[in-house]
Amino acid sequence: MLKISILGSTGSIGTQALDVIDKLNLEIKVNSLAVYRNIQLLENQIRHYRPHYVAVFDLNAAKDLKVKTRDLDVEILQGDYGVEYLAASEENNIVLNAVTGVAGLKPSIATLKAGKKLALANKETMVTGGELINKIKQSYKAEIIPVDSEHSAIFQCLRASDSNHLKRIILTASGGPFWGLKTKDLVNVTPAQALINPNWKMGNRVTIDSSTLFNKGMEVIEAKWLFNVSTDMIDVIIQRESIIHSAVEFEDNAIIAQLGIPDMRIPIQYAFTYPKRMISPVNSLDLAEISKLTFYRPDTETFRCLDLCKEALKKGGLYTAAINGADEEAVKLFISGKIRYTEISEIIEKLIVTQDYKGEVTYDNIMEADKEARSFVFSMM
Ligand code: MN
């Protein structure tokens, strides 16, 4: 039996994961749920799934929830400690980490140290701490199953051969709503325009990050650590329809790709059932209806963030942790109308060029670099 903890259960990935669990014809027990503060929805989830443990980051929200669930047999834990406790709990054998932001790093570490299967949807885990995570994963013999659609695709495609014969990873990107535009057109982009993604329904930061290609840059970093490849083995290609979720090329020049309707429930389900496959609630892809797939090289002159992420990765150390924090703050400033769209990449570039983030990749150093990078962004205002 699959015993699952879902960290970030009220978010986009969390709710889709619960939908997968409802529809899977498989014995699955949701043993624990964790959220930041959306306790209205969390209370409904508790009444439906009856987990033994629940963790809430926000202390006041945790107190409210305790009152609301007095009639139920559930233990409500609080803060950082609660989420870490759930991740390491004996009660589960798989942890879906769908926490938003760098707050997801700690529970990922706790999951791996408990030697468990980590279904990883939190991007920041590998972006900020890839080097550290791989060390922990190895010493505790734990397993990571990627949930991000591209990395799930790569993970699936790699099963076609021995990874020794891998030539390159082809990471696909939709290109976002501003594909085809140039910098002069982007200067006056409004938050409302940037918050639309034609193919995927996602949270605010990742939607903006998809439009700037910062999200793709983060995914290059994730791919490097998840699949242990050199950065120059990862090619990014625009696949406008988001039908090919990524591909790999082997030494014999055979390319294996994973295709499907853009719906996160496919990669989420695969992380749960791997190495098996099961019937999905997602519709089958009708290739004749799609009729054509279009590909382009990314315009890295206009969308600077992709190369900036690669640059940070080459610099190593804590640079990727720093640019992640800086981007998150820059995106918030853009959404609240305080900076222009094009300033997001300018701020990140300035950070990479002027700041020193060489340093050992430890948990404390990552959090420190994250904090410093955020203050750096504010110091520029
Ligand atoms: Mn993705």
CA 59–ligand 1 middle distance (angstroms): 31
CA 66–ligand 1 middle distance (angstroms): 35
- Average pLDDT of the chain is 96
Q: Do the Cβ atoms of 211 and 194 come closer than 8 Å?
A: yes
Judge residue 353's burial from the number of C-beta atoms within 10 Å of its C-beta, 0-12 exposed, 13-18 middle, 19 or more buried: exposed
CA 73–ligand 1 middle distance (angstroms): 37
Q: What is the mean pLDDT of residues 327-343?
A: 97
The CA distance from 218 to 329, in Å, is: 15
Q: What is the mean pLDDT of residues 91-112?
A: 95
Token digits of residue 79: 């803060």
Per-residue model confidence (pLDDT) at position 181: 97
The tally of CA atoms less than 13 A away on the side-chain side of residue 234 is 28
At position 62, the amino acid (one-letter code) is A
pLDDT confidence bin for 196, thresholds 50/70/90 = confident
CA 306–ligand 1 middle distance (angstroms): 14
At position 241, the amino acid (one-letter code) is E
Per-residue model confidence (pLDDT) at position 278: 95
CA 219–ligand 1 middle distance (angstroms): 7
DSSP 276: S
pLDDT confidence bin for 325, thresholds 50/70/90 = very high
Nearest to 35 by CA among 65, 69, 67: 65
Per-residue model confidence (pLDDT) at position 312: 98
The CA distance from 358 to 369, in Å, is: 10
CA 233–ligand 1 middle distance (angstroms): 18
pLDDT confidence bin for 77, thresholds 50/70/90 = very high
CA 215–ligand 1 middle distance (angstroms): 7
Tens digit of pLDDT for each residue in 125-161? 999 999 999 999 999 999 999 999 999 999 999 999 9
Token digits of residue 152: 């799930």
Cβ atoms within 10 A of the Cβ of 326, count?
A: 29
Indicate the SS3 state at residue 58: coil
Bridge pairing between strands 244-250 and 166-173: antiparallel
Per-residue model confidence (pLDDT) at position 80: 87
Per-residue model confidence (pLDDT) at position 157: 98
Per-residue model confidence (pLDDT) at position 381: 87
CA 263–ligand 1 middle distance (angstroms): 11
The CA distance from 220 to 42, in Å, is: 33
CA 341–ligand 1 middle distance (angstroms): 21
The CA distance from 307 to 369, in Å, is: 20
Nearest to 374 by CA among 312, 345, 332, 337: 332
The CA distance from 3 to 272, in Å, is: 10
Per-residue model confidence (pLDDT) at position 26: 86
Per-residue model confidence (pLDDT) at position 199: 75
Per-residue model confidence (pLDDT) at position 197: 74
CA 143–ligand 1 middle distance (angstroms): 20
CA 18–ligand 1 middle distance (angstroms): 19
CA 196–ligand 1 middle distance (angstroms): 16
How far from 332 is each of 76, 122, 208, 217, 336, CA to CA, in Å?
Answer: 31, 19, 10, 18, 6
Residue 91 has pLDDT above 90, yes or no: no
CA 244–ligand 1 middle distance (angstroms): 12
In the chain, alpha helices (H): 12-23, 39-49, 59-68, 79-88, 105-113, 123-139, 149-157, 183-186, 191-194, 204-212, 214-227, 265-273, 287-290, 305-315, 319-335, 343-354, 363-379
Q: What is the mean pLDDT of residues 82-87?
A: 91
Q: What is 347-367 written as a DSSP string?
A: HHHHHHHH----S---HHHHH
At position 267, the amino acid (one-letter code) is P
CA 217–ligand 1 middle distance (angstroms): 10
CA 147–ligand 1 middle distance (angstroms): 9
CA 165–ligand 1 middle distance (angstroms): 25
Residue 235's H or E segment, with its range, is strand 234-239
Tens digit of pLDDT for each residue in 235-259? 999 999 999 999 999 999 999 999 9
Bridge pairing between strands 255-259 and 244-250: antiparallel
- Report CA dihedral (299, 224, 219, 268) to the nearest 10 degrees: 140
